[in-house]
Structure 1
Amino acid sequence: MKPKHSFKKSFLFLLWVISCNFLFFQGCTGIKSLSIKDHYVPKEIKEKIKSVPILLQSVSVKKQVNSKEAEYDCRRILMLLLRKRNEKIPSSDENYFLNVVVKEESFMEGYRSLNSVSVEMNLTAGNGHISAASAMLAEQSTETISSFTYLYGILRRALVSFL
C-alpha cells in the first residue's frame, strides 16, 4: 500500500510555499534604489585634466556616528584611486587639487532603515582656490559608508565622473 502523499510531493509543495513567500516579501520590502549623478567639466580643461596629476587636498565626512573612521577610510581609498590614476601620467609642474565632502543621513521609510549618501567632489587649480570641475553622486540605499566596500564603490563612481 502506497501512502497518498509522497515525501517528494511534500517537499516540492514546501519549496513552492517558501518561494511564494520570498517573492511576496521581496516585493513588499524591496528597496527602490534611487541614484543621481552629475558633473561639470568646462570644455577648455577637459583634456587637460587627463594629463595633469590630481592631489587630494581635503576630505570631510558628515555622518551621525563614526565620522572620524569613515573620514580615515575615505582618505585611504581616494589616495589609492588617485595614485593609480596619477601613475599613468607623466610628471608635471602643474597639479589639480581634489576636495571631497561625503554626507550620510539615516531615516526610516515604513519599517526599513535607509541611508541617503552623497559625495561632492570639487577639483581646483592653481593654489587650490580656482574651481576647475565638480562632480556629485547621491543615492538612497540600505548600505552605509561604514561598509568599506560600499564606500569604495561610491567614491570610485563619483571620481570616474570627471576623470
Structure 2
Amino acid sequence: MICIDEFGPLSIQPHKGKGWYKEKHPHRLPATYTRQHGVRHLFAAFDLKRDKLYGHVSQTKKHQDLLRFLKVLRRRFHRSERLYLVLDNFSPHKHQKVTAWAEENNVELVFTPTNASWLNRIECHFGPLRKFVLEGSHYANHKELAQAIQAYVRWRNKNKRHEAILREQKKIKVV
C-alpha cells in the first residue's frame, strides 16, 4: 500500500522561520519577491509497509508527470507484487493513460472520498517537510530547493523514529 499526493506549488521565495541570530543584527528576509523562476511541484509517495518516503520535483503536475513518477515507483517493487496506490480525486490521477498503465502493471488505484484527502497517510509527512526544508529558508533557485527536499527525504528515511519528525507528524490529523 503506497500513499501518493502532490505538495506545492513550490516557489522561490523567502519563508519565515525561527533561528539563532546575533543580537540586534538578525538576518532579514526581503519583504517582496517576484516569481521569475516559476513554480515546481513535489510528487511524493509513502510506502506504508516499509515506512519509506519517496519524492520527485517536477515543473508541472500533469498526468504525464504523474505517470513518470509512478513508473519510477513501480520499478522499486517486484513485478509480481500488486501495488495499491492511495490517491485523492485530482483529475490527472484519473486520466485514461494513468488508469490504463495501472491495469497493465499490476497496480490498483484506490481513491479517497471527495473532500477527504486527510484519509491519505502521506498528508502527515508534509508538515515535517515544510518545517525542515521550507521554514526559515531562502533558496536561490529550484535546483537548490529540489536538492534540499531530496536531502530531507534521505535523512527522513534513515531517521524514521526521530523525535522531531514524530512530533511534527502528530500535528496533522490523518486516519
**TM-score, normalised via structure 2 length:** 0.32
Q: Higher strand share goes to which structure?
A: 1
The structure with more radius of gyration: 1
